[in-house]
Chain A
């Protein structure tokens, strides 16, 4: 079909009168009702479409064979950064009248790639160079021999990553290459974002828009778009200042892994969350660390430094705008050059990837600055350090139970290196009472749709959350109890010592007593001579666990990504092979299937 005006997306019969009466009407409705209405009206429309035999819901034009009707913005995101970028690009496309759909990779059938014409892929890297959980199936398919030729496809990839990981933006890089290898046409060079992804993402999105303008059919008439709703909910770029209501150490005094429980004010609308979501914080760096860095540079902390049109004092930069506790590759490279230290040079030389990886993971900028002295001017240092990034924490409460509060569970990062104290910036910021100005912190909600309670309240849930991984399960249980869910609950928890490190012990025991937590299996690694972890408990409870699974239970894993999550995964495979008669391969298939149904969900970090 040709792109004649008639076939262009039929403009909704919207005249200015309708618009103004809609606006009038909407003025008296709150945001929640408006959101409800938008869904409701879409439903009504879909119903009419169906009744009219219109298989083109939404009234989008049917693509003609040669012209590209629509772009797809496909994202694979674990912690929401990629999703945000993709959403924004999608909004921009739409607002310019460029037809585009936004799809989460979890909802995308990899085989449909063969039908795509213009694909924007936004993908982050997790684990040790691994794809986000949702993207595993997609990546597996695309890298397998089953992948179709993609000559018809134009694409551009935006990779997100963190340069402190050795496999920086690995997934994006691999997919970018693979698409090309399959015959697709790369329309723009891949862009790799570090944790301060905005700048790179914006320039890439600009290119993406250009490409869309070039390649897409003439713009369709913009749909009635409500006047940009006032940004109610806080987000990463517009966090809300919120108050810390209580702050309690919830490990015993003799614990060598202190954990703090925080309760924050979470005004509805601004910080609305669901169980499974995380909260993000923009922290300030610890004054002690800032002072050390300043001392090492030997510069005047109050002298203003201007970079890219922003001006702060050195102290200001280091406190609020730069990462000084996380080491990134660009800084390390720059410092290596300046330090001209043989040990450091050696690390960079080929053949030492492991040492370099360890260095990036375990060392802080301060460690490098102290161990391998180099001359830095204040301005150069600030420029070389990467911008501050917010940190995420799993929400440990349910609104159904705590109302306008938000609870979290923060493990201290506080250790000695060469006899010097080292702190984790955000955890210290959150857990330390009485910091200067106020008790307020800048926060936003990071939704995690991959980590949701079953829609069916009669489903059983198995929660595996050692350490602070237990946080979202407190939210889960609160929510299910409050909502009267009849499904059963099973918690696996692990830590070093029961006496000192059993997070929320009293609550779990009470839940077990009152019958809302049907099973509680714990592994305290240092309470006996042999080390016991959750995966051991999973294996020893295999028979029952398999029964729950076969009965439709959802399984959730939260906490350490490095070792716990893979070990638990292995244990689950073992349980399935040992107790359900599956082979290793079918067990693996089964877990993948569960994962794609979101019945096996992980939130690991």
Chain B
């Protein structure tokens, strides 16, 4: 248990927010400063709430230091895309921005959003403006506010999906900051004379980032227990078409710091069941409780999960009920079967077709032999349905009519977008965060190392005649957990260049945290550790038993 020290001074970021005049700071001036490709220090924090991070190319950071040049600054822009749904027109616009202003790639995130990397300062404004021109904004995509709201992308349950997606949009909008700063800075909106208010957040917003998700069982693709606030959709009937209400979860979160036992991944608690009409009030109550009771002095202790630990679940629930003006009912029973995506062609209940494509690490780029970006652009040019980004960094081409299928199929072939047909289950399910070279917090490679890592795992599995088994593998460049590694059966968590902590024993549906198994291993040591476990798994596993479950049952971890 951890407690907040009420006498501790607020963290410096609190002052930055407080002084920012509702997130304006000096961003506008920083953008115009031609002497640097970066922003003034305070603005680097504020711009996150506008959906962008200042980064630098870490591959050449040392080189530039020696050159007495500032780091190679550029910006990552993250969209707000509740539930991850976008139109082909929006896709084409983003694709165009990727070439014009970014590093030529689009990145699908574990929170169903797009990221552009490598946008230089003077292109920030045109890029954000162009996104808004196709109705994609970036407000609150980052920073101490409610982030992009997740919603299950399950292609089968199309009706319920639509309902839940609507809720995700409504919640996202309900919790949006009200400041006009965004419009002033990026969209040439007229400056506000004053008297601005943030009715939900107040002038210092939240103590820390806040994440909400909607999930439609039995697929837990959003990893709802890793979220600050979760809504598990409860269908009124067995056919899953009508929404009854939600089980509400709170206090999930994965970020941790190596060597700091006061930080840890935590699964969310279930607060109880609510009906849809309660939803916005309950969500707002959770947010304002965190706003007022969260730790504003220590950012490593500021997520809702720690607030709940400090208050105790009962007090927390009571406060939420008080603020929401309504009660939780006992939670409804639910069960989750998997947190992975279902790849390939599926037919929805409404009869339309969807194609779930595997996009490793969500990186959409044109590479030799894999012109995926061109392929998806070609698809977007003919597609009449929607695109859905999945919380596993994959992409669903949804709402395809039967007659359109052959055209799409031939584009898929032409552009080698067929991993869903060819890749092993391990490769299909693996997640990697961005890490190097853009992520400033990365301690080791993740995205760039994933393909080789998976190949090696495949080889080891093959050696034990385990080819074709499902195995959830996730890798992150640091312990922040962006690819939700602590829920995986096998996870590598970066510690230093080429070195990882090995975590083992997650389940297949995102309901169990794994355990730190070995620390600070290089690649050889990782496999030296895994190999004997694979060997025993190969001989001792029960029918259908997953590797993570086996490790617990056999008390190997």
Contacts and interface: CB of A to CB of B under 8 A. Distances in A.
20 contacts: A248-B66, A251-B67, A498-B34, A498-B35, A499-B72, A500-B69, A502-B35, A503-B68, A505-B35, A505-B36, A505-B68, A505-B70, A506-B65, A506-B68, A506-B70, A507-B68, A520-B35, A522-B34, A524-B34, A527-B34
A523 B34 CA distance: 8
A509 B70 contact: yes
B84 interface: no
A503 B67 CA distance: 8
A605 interface: no
A89 B551 CA distance: 95
A271 to B, nearest CB: 23
Contact of B37 (A261, A498, A504, A528): A498
Nearest to B74: A499
Nearest to B120: A499
B64 interface: yes
Contact of A504 (B36, B66, B68, B122): B68
Contacts of B68: 248, 250, 261, 503-507
A499 B72 CA distance: 7
A489 to B, nearest CB: 14
Interface string B309-351: 0000000000000000000000000000000000000000000
A505 B72 CA distance: 12
Contacts of B63: 253
A252 interface: yes
A508 B69 contact: no
Contact of A522 (B35, B65, B67): B35
Contact of A508 (B35, B72, B120): B35
Contacts of A506: 65, 68-70
Interface in B1-52: 34-37
A543 interface: no
A174 interface: no
Interface string A498-536: 111011111111001000000011111001100000000
A250 B69 contact: yes
A284 to B, nearest CB: 27
Nearest to B64: A252
Nearest to A507: B68
Interface residues of B, number: 16
Interface string B438-477: 0000000000000000000000000000000000000000
Contact of B35 (A251, A499, A503, A509): A509
A250 B35 contact: no
A475 to B, nearest CB: 15
A261 to B, nearest CB: 7
Given A251-B67, A527-B122, A499 B36 contact: no
A248 B34 CA distance: 25
B66 A505 contact: no
B271 to A, nearest CB: 47
B73 to A, nearest CB: 9
A-B pairs with lowest CB-CB distance, top 8: A250-B67, A522-B35, A506-B68, A505-B69, A520-B35, A504-B68, A250-B68, A522-B34
Given A498-B36, A499-B72, A503-B68, 7 more contacts: A249-B67, A498-B35, A499-B37, A502-B70, A506-B70, A509-B70, A524-B34
B464 to A, nearest CB: 46
Nearest to A259: B67
Most interface-central of B35, B66, B72 (chain A CB within 10 A)? B35
B67 A248 contact: yes
Contacts of A527: 34, 122
Contacts of A512: 35
Interface in B46-102: 60, 63-70, 72
Nearest to A510: B70
Contacts of A249: 67
Q: Which of B36, B68, B72, B120 has the most CB of A within 10 A?
A: B68
Given A499-B72, A527-B122, A252 B34 contact: no
- Which of A502, A503, A520, A522 gathers the greatest number of chain B CB atoms within 10 Å? A502
Contacts of A251: 67, 69
A467 to B, nearest CB: 15
A504 B68 CA distance: 5
Interface in A213-268: 248-253, 261
A505 B67 CA distance: 9
Contacts of A505: 35-36, 68-70
A36 to B, nearest CB: 37
B231 to A, nearest CB: 45
Q: Point out which of B34, B64, B65 has the most chain A C-beta atoms below 10 A from its C-beta.
A: B34
Contacts of B72: 252, 499
Contacts of B37: 498-499
A528 B70 CA distance: 20
Contacts of B70: 502, 505-506, 509
Given A499-B72, A527-B122, A252 B35 contact: no
Contact of A509 (B36, B64, B67, B120): B36
